[in-house]
Homo-oligomer: A and B are copies of this chain.
Amino acid sequence: MNSVHMVADRNDTKARLLTEARDLYVEEGPASFSLREVARRAGVSAAAVYRHYDGKEALFEQVCLAGLQVFYGYLVRALEEATPHERLVGSATQYLRFGLENPRDYRVLFMGAGPAHKHPPGKGKKPDATFQFLIDRVQECMNAGILHEDDPHEVATVIWAHVHGLVSLRLAGQLAHVGTDTQFAKLYHRSTERLVEGLSG
């Protein structure tokens, strides 16, 4: 096995720094996110980090980009569905799956404290791509007559707010009373479907 083909060696310092950086960020917050602490957790010196990343900000940028890659990996699966309706529902399902299976990435991408990090390019640009994806699913349903003709922008907006609200509150521990992830998923799907029906009918 050539090292060139190894994507995530357990001892790959670069990859290790990336995950340690992400974990530190979500565990201790932006205020405590330091390059030195990331290096400590990864078991290397602070100076070593500069062999892999251009600095603190660049490191965090890569954390965001890596999270987006994972996120898109989930979203695109919804396109494998057969009908427009299934693709729309599937999008919501994949969004939920991403959040529950990658809570740390979700927090970095969608629960960053507003202007917490200034530069992270994944904050103002890519989520727009996400939004467009959802708009396309809605438009698709309207074209197929599955959803009543309406402003796809508006319907997509409300759906996004709804799923983001549910997932973010769940990950924040505010919805612990709902029970298991499976129970939460039922609630998620039921309320989302009813919301869509209510908005389109």
| A interface residues (Cβ-Cβ under 8 A, vs B) | 26-31, 33, 107, 111-118, 124, 127, 131, 153-154, 157-158, 160-166, 168-169, 171-175, 177-178, 187, 191, 194-195, 197-199
Q: Report how far A101 CA is from B115 CA in the complex, Å.
A: 19
**Distance A194 CA – B187 CA, assembled complex (angstroms):** 17
Question: Which one of B27, B154, B163 lies within 8 Å of A187 (CB-CB)?
Answer: B154
A124–B173 CA distance with the chains assembled, in angstroms: 9
> Complex formed: what's the CA distance from A198 to B192 in Å?
10
Docked CA distance A69–B169 (Å) = 22
In the complex, what residue of chain B is closest to A153 when comparing beta carbons? Answer: B177
Pick the contact of A116 from B116, B162, B195 — CB < 8 Å? B116
A173 to chain B, nearest CB (A): 8
Most buried by B among A26, A115, A154, A162: A115
Q: A158-B187, A165-B162 are in contact. Are A31 and B28 (CB under 8 A)?
A: no
Q: What are some 29 contacts across the A-B interface (CB < 8 A)?
A: A29-B30, A29-B114, A29-B115, A29-B117, A30-B113, A30-B116, A31-B31, A31-B116, A111-B113, A113-B116, A114-B171, A131-B174, A153-B177, A157-B187, A160-B165, A160-B169, A161-B162, A161-B169, A161-B175, A163-B165, A164-B165, A164-B168, A164-B169, A165-B168, A191-B195, A194-B195, A194-B199, A195-B195, A195-B198
